Amino acid sequence: MRLYLILALAVAACGGAGVSGTASPPSAQVFAAARWVPANPTYVVAATSLREGQRAVRDLIDSFGMLGDLDSKAASAGLAYLLGVDPLQPESVAGLGIDVDGGIAIFSEDLNPTFVAHLAAPEQLQTFFDQQRQHGLVTSSVMLEGTEVFSTKLGDGIHVSWAVDNDWFWLHFTFLGASDETAWFANSHRPGGNAWMQHWTWAQTFAAHARSVVGYFDLRGLLAKVAGRVPQVIACAKLVQPIGGVALAVDGDLQHASARLAFDLGPSAKTVGANLLLPPPGWGELAVRAPISVQSNLDLQVVADWAAPCGDVLGIDLRSVKTTGVRTARALLKTYDPSDRSAGTGAVSLDVTSAAYFAKLNDKVDFPGRSFFDKHRKFGPYDGHRLSPPTFPTLDYVLGDRIVLLGVGEGLLDKVVTGAGPVSPPPIISIDVYPPGLSQAAWEDLFGLSQLGHPKLLAERLLGWREGHIKLVIDGDALVLQADGNRR
């Protein structure tokens, strides 16, 4: 049983390289294991090599694992303890006979994945299987096109099948539904076409210069398969009909890590772009080098109407956003002192259909003498107020018919409403983090207030990065989700 877990994690990095034997079919020119991709896959993921893929997985863990109190070293140690082999390190996987510089890919005609790996030492893998049988592994097998296909059951509803043909190894998992027996192998061992390659070419275009992992997902096909088993998902599946496909790219090195998802929207991309609202003119300049800056510029009222049927299925009332009148939301933090939390500075910007909801909240904030400290003031074109009670930071705010603005720290709101404005369409969503902008003590305090575990460790890991960015943008006919970070 260890082998299946090891390979499921190890080749999740996926890739392609050297081929031996007969001349390669045209598809193998894309990546070596492409020769085994069936004619109509619902997804294909591959990388230049397992070694590159493992590095990409480690980078992703180090980049985003901090939110779950995890790094690649801890992940390696835990997996090695559980499995007996560290699937994130090339040397460990090579001991199974897998070619860490060779071809690996993941694909499916349904939901259940097939892993195809190139072998450097087939005899080592065979020895490992023999040892597992001696330890009680029970298998069955059938002959298919001269290749023996083995299978076993790993608990309720989980079947594992595998086969070896010369220096290639197939590993197939069935997690959902009845076992698909040998159809998965027959369609891979002798593919009936390579129409999927046109989608792969599109995926590579959006992968840009990524070297580690590239993938393509037929989102419509995948959700159709899910809806066949879970009819309630049909309401959600209808929402993704405009999406022609999804491209994946992961890359990284010792100084940089990045991941990219591109959704082919076709003509619908223009509809999304038409519902973007511009941030205040000075927002972009003020957000540069801010320790934390967040934007959501797509009209939430439109999103709520569009996604409401899927929200109903999931038990989430997305229509509730209409009660607040919020259309967009932006926030940034400029300074923060853990020894005096009230001394921090930052800003909030909201586009609204009406400020009535926030006016009621403002009326509830009352204290003796507030009217004396709350003075009318002009911020650019907006009528607002400056609230400056003693021993507290200055609070500037605007409650307009279409916009709500808040600035903590004298002069900050003036900077928000003045400036040249954006020179290009704003992101749909963006999250930008500049760790050196705050001290370790400040980050620790913020993590503590967020109730995240081990705030000191999280702060130390975060400060190992110079900057990090997550953004969702419209790029031509595609919706692109980009995450990247640079280490210090």
pLDDT reported for residue 201: 85
Express each pLDDT in 14-61 by its tens digit.
Answer: 333 333 333 444 454 567 888 899 988 999 998 777 777 777 777 777
Q: How far apart are CA 151 and CA 255, in angstroms?
A: 42
**Better-predicted residue by pLDDT, 207 or 97:** 97
C-alpha distances in angstroms, 221 versus 121, 195, 215, 339?
Answer: 36, 15, 15, 54
DSSP bridge pairs for 398: 405
The pLDDT confidence band at residue 12, using thresholds 50, 70 and 90, is: very low
Expressed as residue numbers, the domain containing 46 is 2-206
Same domain, 442 and 330: yes
The answer to whether residue 423 sits within a structural domain is: yes
Same domain, 35 and 181: yes
The pLDDT confidence band at residue 481, using thresholds 50, 70 and 90, is: very high
The answer to whether residue 29 sits within a structural domain is: yes
Within 8 A by CB and 6+ apart from 85, the residues are 2, 6, 79, 92, 93, 95, 96
Same domain, 354 and 432: yes
pLDDT reported for residue 429: 97
The answer to whether residue 86 sits within a structural domain is: yes
The answer to whether residue 285 sits within a structural domain is: yes
**What is the total count of domains within the chain?**
2
Same domain, 301 and 420: yes
Contact 222, 441 (CB under 8 A): no
Cα–Cα–Cα angle for 358, 361, 365, nearest 5°? 135
Residue 464 carries which side chain, given as an amino acid letter? G
Same domain, 79 and 171: yes
The answer to whether residue 478 sits within a structural domain is: no
Among 158, 174, 206, identify where a domain stops: 206
Phi, psi of 378, rounded to the nearest 5 degrees:
-100, 130
- Mean of all residue pLDDT scores within the chain: 83
pLDDT of 67 over the 50 cut: yes
Same domain, 190 and 286: no
Among 181, 206, 231, identify where a domain stops: 206
Same domain, 202 and 106: yes
The answer to whether residue 226 sits within a structural domain is: no
The answer to whether residue 446 sits within a structural domain is: yes
Same domain, 179 and 284: no
Of 104-108, 159-163, 164-168, 451-455, the range with the lowest mean pLDDT is 451-455
Q: How far apart are CA 303 and CA 321, in angstroms?
A: 10
Contact 449, 302 (CB under 8 A): no
Among 206, 234, 267, identify where a domain stops: 206
Same domain, 179 and 293: no
Same domain, 292 and 201: no
The answer to whether residue 74 sits within a structural domain is: yes
Same domain, 290 and 200: no
**No. of H helices and E strands in the chain?**
18, 20
Same domain, 83 and 173: yes
Within 8 A by CB and 6+ apart from 129, the residues are 3, 137
